[in-house]
Structure 1
């Protein structure tokens, strides 16, 4: 078996690992830049993308988090419509590279490459070096992730943040509490919440359980680490929430973003017909007051109408939830999904080809993860693997079915798919393994009698 062992160790050797990952990362950069230039070039930016771009420019100009339209009206109005992390990243990028439409789309290259590196690290930790590199290659070439990285939307930042949290949580879980790792885990989770507030589930589903179940760590140390983790998350998220209280009148991480999602996904249009399980802008308009109310009042009105609608249509909820889950995982009419994607700085033809691939990845990834978990006898490691999938399902159920929400789970599914492919390859090589055993045995300095059959 020495030939096989040498082969695996070869993939895991520092030099070969670094060279392979560098090559994959270079390809990731090239395909993302090429996508922006040649595929996305003629596509107009969606409303959310424009909002993020303008907000980033406002932060860069020193006017802060204000309603983007107020920049052109001369009467700046503070806002908490969306979480702040991605606009802040856009401000840094525009300062360093420039504010043009092409520039802000290429901003996704950096988080995209970080995603490739992190999925390689997580794949190697969960399985082996080969699986890590193959998963990294899948992420580098994923049509859905390429489009997400170039869309000028917050998903571009949430993917590497979720992966970073998973890598740190796995380290704490399997290697014991290390204070730098706990602090880093809390900081990453805090920034993730400030990127998309539903990622607060990462704290509950991943960070806290990882610390509490940390191997080889005493109860007192685990409790202290838990307190430290919560403190770090609060120190990252708290200042923004306090700012919102002073400027906007609420402690919420964001206002209009979650309320408009609820209003647009709980109405007649999305409880039946072609929009079933999706989101409708006219429904948001119908739920929005028109008397010049403050942002918090608008959000409260949208939320209240959505809750009232759900209460009056409880019997329809199971069907709607099923449609939302089918949509978010790409198990829906690809043409309908691609048409809706095209409204969010994506190209119809590209998305049309992407959606069936996502559906295949979802199935193969889950099968591969289940097989890998049985082989490795995972215990608490299942938290690290399953959390992104659970978050996608919960987010879709609570809002609406949009395939762009599943991008946070695609890297983990890629690890599962890579593991499945490698196990299939290994299963087809028993004859080659036997021959290597024979060659190694005969090459020894003092060969002993060969076993029967060889």
Structure 2
């Protein structure tokens, strides 16, 4: 016996709607079994897109920069060597404890490494599979937010939209950022619908995963989790406090092994990453505050500083202090620089220059440009989706929290296409809501004009 589809937040039937085409009719007849079959087909399409991208543009790969870090850290971890700096180990043979990036990306890539698949290509293929898993989570979130049709439309967009797959074969943390942000959106709506202790725990686990993927998204604790639970007016305050405590406890316990590990091996306290200082150091200096690359980053910032300590936590503190000192003496420039950073992240400030800058991270220029062009209509559709959900009185916070959090992080650090990646699931979901709402409206108009 087939289980019924889960209830959706709109409170309106969504499995059928008037049709204008054969495609609309197919979506309108979506049933649980057929829905999963269509999702499987869309997932295969998404995998095909990612594999074509990998083998047509990125193979064989030049392994350097952050992809090298994630790849080598995964293999070292799988081999039982802990978490050293893979660059230092390769260049000098010295084992230097490091946490330049949070561990989730390399931790997941260690799965194929444990099974003997240690090549860079193996990790690229596994990362593409993680991208397909993001499609599934986006579909499940869309179904819960606005019904099964919206879930399939969202999955279709996630399968082909470059913003969802450009980073997968590159081996970047944006893949896990997209995956975990899709998860936390789904977990947030599940909590909103049910408000049980188990759902609060699931939300806390998703928050921990997001932080272990992208450290700056720890902001979601105060932008999403606490407000979402605190505004559950149907619950007594004691119950709300208890649910916040459950989410916080699960999140803290999930992160604890990594944090304890870091506290045991660095001289300065480090909880998620030692990379904040170096990131701030390359984004707060004259080269990033003015000129052609305002709002971007530059290695000239670090080259202008005195030599840094070798111990990674001490280096982190050193670079942070240098950045804070520069900020203190250039406070008047902050609003202008912040606006440029935000514009770069959302593709509205010097977009073609940003696409060229993205090639530094091995993104093909043509695909970056296609991603930018497709982003703009999706952003407009996403704004329309906000209006639709507000009229339906669907809670918007889970969909708006990630864009808000990463925008705050971008303003504080620098503007880049990479930062926006975490918000792509929210953009896709909101756009899917608008597209399906428009299709239903047009369908009703067509049916109304048909002679009876």
Residue 424 of structure 1: aligned partner: 438
The answer to whether the 8 Å contact 2:274/2:312 transfers is yes
Residue 140 of structure 2: aligned partner: 121
Q: Which residue, out of 293, 296, 299, partners 2:316?
A: 299
- Residue 247 of structure 1: how far off its partner (Å): 0.3
Q: Matches of residues 356-435 of structure 1 in structure 2 within 5 Å?
A: 356-366=373-383, 368-378=384-394, 381-434=395-448
The answer to whether the 8 Å contact 2:104/2:212 transfers is yes
Residue 176 of structure 2: aligned partner: 157
- Residue 392 of structure 1: how far off its partner (Å): 1.9
Q: Does 1:267 align with 2:285?
A: yes
Residue 326 of structure 1: aligned partner: 343
- Residue 311 of structure 1: how far off its partner (Å): 1.3
Residue 449 of structure 1: aligned partner: none
- Residue 14 of structure 1: how far off its partner (Å): 0.3
Q: Does 1:207 align with 2:220?
A: no
Distance (whole Å) between structure 2 residues aligned to residue 171 and residue 215 of structure 1: 16
Distance (whole Å) between structure 2 residues aligned to residue 352 and residue 328 of structure 1: 14
1:350–1:3 Cα change, 3 Å: closer
**CA offsets per residue over residues 249-271 of structure 1, 9 Å max, x none?**
23323454211111111100011
- Residue 412 of structure 1: how far off its partner (Å): 1.4
- Greater Cα offset, 85-94 or 259-268: 85-94
User: When the two structures are superposed, what TM-score results if normalisation uses the length of structure 1?
Assistant: 0.89
Residue 7 of structure 2: aligned partner: none
1:99–1:282 Cα change, 3 Å: farther
Q: Matches of residues 3-42 of structure 1 in structure 2 within 5 Å?
A: 4=17, 10-42=28-60
Q: Does 1:83 align with 2:98?
A: no
1:56–1:4 Cα change, 3 Å: closer
Distance (whole Å) between structure 2 residues aligned to residue 22 and residue 263 of structure 1: 45
Aligned partner of residue 364 in structure 1, secondary structure: helix
Aligned length, in residue pairs = 433
Aligned partner of residue 275 in structure 1, secondary structure: coil
The answer to whether the 8 Å contact 2:385/2:432 transfers is no
Q: Does 1:181 align with 2:194?
A: no
- Residue 414 of structure 1: how far off its partner (Å): 1.5
Aligned partner of residue 343 in structure 1, secondary structure: helix
- Greater Cα offset, 67-76 or 200-209: 67-76
- Residue 231 of structure 1: how far off its partner (Å): 0.9
The answer to whether the 8 Å contact 1:328/1:404 transfers is yes
The answer to whether the 8 Å contact 2:204/2:250 transfers is yes
- Residue 31 of structure 1: how far off its partner (Å): 0.9
Residue 250 of structure 2: aligned partner: 232
Q: Which residue, out of 334, 337, 349, partners 1:317?
A: 334
Distance (whole Å) between structure 2 residues aligned to residue 152 and residue 9 of structure 1: 34
Aligned partner of residue 428 in structure 1, secondary structure: helix
Q: RMSD between aligned alpha carbons?
A: 2.4
1:265–1:281 Cα change, 3 Å: same
The answer to whether the 8 Å contact 1:330/1:356 transfers is no
Which runs of 5 or more residues in structure 2 are unaligned?
1-12, 20-24
Q: Which residue, out of 142, 149, 163, partners 1:130?
A: 149
- Greater Cα offset, 204-213 or 164-173: 204-213
Aligned partner of residue 347 in structure 2, secondary structure: coil
